[in-house]
Amino acid sequence: MVVDFRRARRDHSPLAINGSSVEIVKNIKFLGVHIVENLTWTLNTSSITKRAQQRLYFLRKLREAHLPSPILTTFYRGTVESILSSCIITWFGNCTAFDRKTLQRIVRTAEKIIGVSFPSITNIYITRCIRKATNIVKDPTHPSHELFTLLPSGRRAIISSTLHQAPVRALSSSP
């Protein structure tokens, strides 16, 4: 896959590694995340939505079997929420509002099935970003540790790279 944001599209010369030609594709699935050449996340979101909807079916069947809500909550967190939050700090920050609404609809559906309130998908994203940024700041051996510079208050961080802006933004806004 070639990511190219130039205005004038150009054909790229074939890439060869160790004498064998590498195929250029429009999208790729890497570690369970669909990456598209224009870096939109709609394909990834639709894949996540499809898998989560399949798990919601089983959640409904468990509810029909009159299982108590703590067991249903455990099932939701282990099957549905884990799908929704897989690699969330990678893709959620650049999702469209429509994609976010689609993912939040799954959380609301699970809330209605179980009758319990769950954190929104945005809150899950913020929590994961804060946790990741905190771990990077605490670990001096982390490759990105040098990119974070804490201000005297200890709560805010300055970043020298755009790669980690979402975790820093979340870390800076946390109490």
The helix or strand, by DSSP H or E, that contains position 45, with its residue range, turns out to be: helix 42-64
Q: What is the pTM of this model?
A: 0.73
Angle 31-167-144 from CA coordinates, rounded to 5° = 75
Q: What is the pLDDT along the chain (175 residues), one digit of tens a residue?
A: 556 656 676 676 777 788 888 777 788 888 888 888 778 888 999 999 999 999 999 999 999 999 999 999 999 999 999 999 998 998 898 899 999 999 999 999 999 999 999 999 999 999 998 888 888 888 889 888 888 776 666 555 555 555 556 666 666 666 5
